[in-house]
Amino acid sequence: MSQPIQHAQADEAVLIPAAQEGDMAAFEELVARHRDKAYARAFSILRNEDDALDVTQEAWVKIWQRLKQFHGNSSFATWVTRIVINLCLDQLRKQKRLQAESIEQLDEDAGGVERLMPAVILNPTERLERSELRRRIDEALAKLSVEHRTALVLHEFEELEYKEVAKRMGCSIGTVMSRLFYARRKLAALLAGLKREEFT
Amino acid sequence: MKDLPTALKLQAHLDGELAPDEAREVVSLLQRDAEAHALFDELKGTRRVLAANEPEIKLPESREFYWSKIRRELERLEREPQVRPQRVWGIARWLRLALPACAVLVFAVVMLHRPAFAPGPGSPLFAVGDEIETPLEELNSFTFRSESARMTVVWVSDSFVN
């Protein structure tokens, strides 16, 4: 006779099959373990607390409905995050905040003043506490355009290849490359504390 | 700054997205071009800083409150599938009743508008070109087609029985 699951102590290898069989307490435990990561990813793309909460809740509902499709090819965390990202991109498209490729976007993709900026030496870890550095990175990310930030988040934090980023954002690999390039340059400038006047 | 295609190549090299031949070209460029090298270092530094310092963002709601909203939605959806088939079945059942009802109604309208008497040859209703067809007399029906009135009437009568 099988023992009842102690959800709080149980390994994911136990919780996931239990949830797949309809054990909602097991699913609740999985949500509790991954909710911060899912929310953080949604917020990093949407930059809006309410939108990020709505999207992650929608994601958990979809995850429950599709649990049987999870076969462990990636980690559960990766699978969850990918679903969150797809919903975030859908949300941006609905809000018309995400441009696939358009004439209006050309200037933004071309990087504005960042194209003229000389290379900066970026070594902030020597001067800043880690929490302070993270706060500054968060602030800098908020200053990027949706397209630049999304490309950066997908590539740097989710470690997706160019073609995967392009597929998800609905644009060409070349566009991803230029968005990523100017996002990095702008971020470097912001983190180095450079003001626009210094390089224009 | 280097021209954009060169800059993007430097970045692609950093991200491991170049074919071996192109990667060799970039390595060679980095060795002889200080500006390219500086740009490459900046991109590398940004990448390193980001990789090690992703902002820590916490969900701004308690575990219980957050889960209660998800659970409510799941419970709502669990109830919904039981309603959906009934709705589909409801439409099918309605159609099953409505279609014969429509047929009866059409038949009734036709019957109400039929002449009060059985028209026959010589009747004033008939004109040149009108046709009367009684293919099966034992069924007590015949078809009346008036070209002038552009109408066809199927007339059913029990007069043959009486």
> Do B127 and B146 contact (CB within 8 A), yes or no?
yes
CB < 8 Å to B59, chain A:
35-36, 39, 53, 56
> Which residues 6+ apart lie within 8 Å of A164 measured at CB?
A154
- Is position A37 within any domain? yes
Query: Tokens 């040149």 map to which residue?
Result: B128
- Is position A2 within any domain? no
Q: How far apart are CA A163 and CA A174, in angstroms?
A: 9
CA distance A197 to chain B (A): 17
Q: Is pTM, for the whole model, over 0.90? A: no
Note whether B162 and B122 are same-domain residues: yes
Note whether A128 and A60 are same-domain residues: no
> Which residues 6+ apart lie within 8 Å of A177 measured at CB?
A162, B8, B11, B12
At residue A13, the pLDDT reads 94
Query: Which domain does A189 fall in, by range?
Result: 103-198
pLDDT over threshold 50, residue B162: no
SS3 B132: strand
Whether B70 has its CB under 8 Å from any CB of chain A: the answer is yes
pLDDT, tens digit, 9 for 90 and up, residues B104-139: 888 888 777 765 545 555 555 555 555 555 555 555
> Do A29 and A12 contact (CB within 8 A), yes or no?
no
pLDDT over threshold 80, residue A96: no
Whether B22 has its CB under 8 Å from any CB of chain A: the answer is no
pLDDT over threshold 80, residue A174: yes
Whether B38 has its CB under 8 Å from any CB of chain A: the answer is yes
- Is position A159 within any domain? yes
Q: Do A40 and B15 touch (CB under 8 A)?
A: no
pLDDT band at B100 (very low <50, low <70, confident <90, very high): confident
Note whether B63 and B108 are same-domain residues: yes
Note whether B64 and B92 are same-domain residues: yes
Assign residue A157 the CATH number of its domain. Answer: 1.10.10.10
> Do A168 and A160 contact (CB within 8 A), yes or no?
yes
Which residue among A60, A116, A141 places its CB closest to the CB of B70?
A: A60
CB < 8 Å to A123, chain B:
45
Final residue of a structural domain among A65, A94, A123: A94
**A189 or B162: whose pLDDT is higher?**
A189
Pure H helices in chain A: 12-20, 24-46, 49-65, 76-94, 103-109, 130-143, 146-152, 162-169, 173-191
Average pLDDT, chain A: 87
The alpha carbon dihedral of A68, A71, A75, A81 has a sign of: negative
ipTM above 0.85, yes or no: no
Our count of domains for chain B comes to: 3
Q: Do B57 and A134 touch (CB under 8 A)?
A: no
Backbone φ, ψ for residue A198 (5° rounding): -75, -20
> Do A160 and A173 contact (CB within 8 A), yes or no?
no
Q: Do B55 and A44 touch (CB under 8 A)?
A: yes
pLDDT band at B8 (very low <50, low <70, confident <90, very high): very high
Note whether A132 and A191 are same-domain residues: yes
Assign residue A68 the CATH number of its domain. Answer: 1.10.1740.10
Note whether B137 and B127 are same-domain residues: yes
Q: How far apart are CA B135 and CA A164, in angstroms?
A: 74
At residue A111, the pLDDT reads 55
Best interface-test mutation with B: which of A7, A23, A24, A83 has the largest number of B CBs within 10 A? A24
Our count of domains for chain A comes to: 2
Question: What is the chain A residue with the closest CA to B54?
Answer: A134
